[in-house]
Amino acid sequence: MNFTGAHILSIEQFERADIEVLFGTADNMEPYAQRRRITRVLEGAILGNMFFEASTRTRISFGSAFNLLGGDVRESVGMDSSSLIKGESLQDTARVLSGFSDVICMRHPEPGSVAQFASASRVPVMNGGDGSNEHPSQALLDLYTIAKELQGRGRGIDGLRIAMVGDLKFGRTVHSLCKLLSLYQNVQLTLVSPVELAMPEKYIECLRKAGHQVVITDQLEASIAHVDIVYSTRIQEERFSDRAQADLYRGRFRLNQAIYTEHCEPNTVIMHPLPRDSRVEANELDTDLDTNPNLAIFRQADNGLLVRMALFVLVLDVAHLVDRHAKDVPWHNSRDLAK
């Protein structure tokens, strides 16, 4: 794909070579994300960060990534505080906001809404999650994390063994991740969910077309026994027409240290897009895993900065200029990467 000026709406836009370009660029962002260097390459540029649905990580990560490149961020948060509530169309909103911004990130509860918005935008639009459809930047940071975690273990994305666990019907992160894994070879996927929350057929078809081995089950313990990655997800209660229905599934698949020790191969990596639901009735990833060095959930979030910075510099065509606009950090830097 040609990154310059492109909207980032779906994983379907990417080929394997594009992922290599993106991940190479993300690696180059590390000194800036870790505050060892400052770059002002996007000085003067404005990100319109439009989040019409709840978000902590994705919104702040996109915003911080843009700030770390020297750009400014303008935000609108929540449907109630935007003119969408007055009946303004997504297209009109896009026509207006793209006059104020150089790039726009958007999250919205309706599948397809971000693409609709992008169709009327004069600047690139990045999909921060459109309902239960896709979450491409999350899948990209997830795959980047998988590659990094498996580095040096003699295992890679080709030949990967992964169990996806939880709400696979409404979870947009696993939808995008399935599409992304379809670009690779010989992946073994175990899809663990309640029958009612199974992975939609179109994603399974996409995996099978790629020649991957797919096992569908509602049994957790056997499924996490021989995998490189356990990718846990939250029950997406906001997607249920009757929220009480979500209670039927919450807490169905819980992973804690005892279950991990008994069933997983040593060094199985645990991932989750976050937020993990820490309420007692859910507790899909117990806090007793927090001292397990294979819990990669906070490294995932850290990697999100790198991948989103890479998306910005590629789409705005400044990847080659980042270092030229760099300088040293004057303040005391006590940060370390999340362990």
- Dihedral sign, CA of 124, 146, 318, 337? positive
The position carrying tokens 């999100």 is 304
Near ligand NCD in 53-72, by CB under 6 A: 57-58
Which residue of the set 108, 135, 250, 308 is catalytic? 135
**Residue choice 157, 274, 297, 309 for contact with ligand NCD (CB under 6 A):** 274
Question: Is 58 noted as a catalytic residue in this protein?
Answer: yes
Which of 25, 59, 93, 107 does the annotation list as catalytic? 107
Asked if 140 and 12 touch (Cβ cutoff 8 Å), the reply is no
Contact between 303 and ligand NCD by CB under 6 A: the answer reads no
Asked whether position 129 contacts ligand NCD by CB under 6 A, the answer is yes
Q: For the chain, state the CA radius of gyration.
A: 20
Considering the complex, state which of residue 39 and residue 176 has its C-beta at the smaller distance from ligand NCD: 176
Please indicate whether residue 299 is annotated as part of the active site. Answer: no
Site string for ligand NCD, 221-260 (x = CB under 6 A): -------------x-x------------------------
Q: Is residue 172 a contact point for ligand NCD (CB under 6 A)?
A: yes
Q: Return the closest-CA partner of residue 24 out of 38, 45, 48, 3.
A: 3
Contact yes or no for 193/199 (Cβ under 8 A): yes
Give me the catalytic one of 58, 145, 173, 190. Answer: 58
Give residue 134's identity as a one-letter amino acid code.
E
Number of residues this chain uses to bind ligand NCD (CB under 6 A) = 11
Cα(44)–Cα(40) distance, integer angstroms:
9
Considering the rule CB under 6 A, would residue 135 count as an interface residue with ligand NCD?
A: yes
One-letter amino acid at 105 equals C
In terms of Cβ atoms closer than 10 Å to its own Cβ (0-12, 13-18, 19+), residue 165 is buried
Q: Which of 121, 127, 133, 138 binds ligand NCD (CB under 6 A)?
A: 138
Q: How much of the chain is helix, strand and coil, in % rounded to 5?
A: 40, 15, 40
Question: Residue 92 Cβ, how far from ligand NCD at the closest point, in Å?
Answer: 26
Q: Is 273 in the site for ligand NCD (CB under 6 A)?
A: yes
Give least dist CB 171 to ligand NCD, A.
7
Catalytic residues: 57-58, 86, 107, 135
Which residues of the shown chain bind ligand NCD in the complex (CB under 6 A)? 57-58, 129, 135, 138, 172-173, 234, 236, 273-274
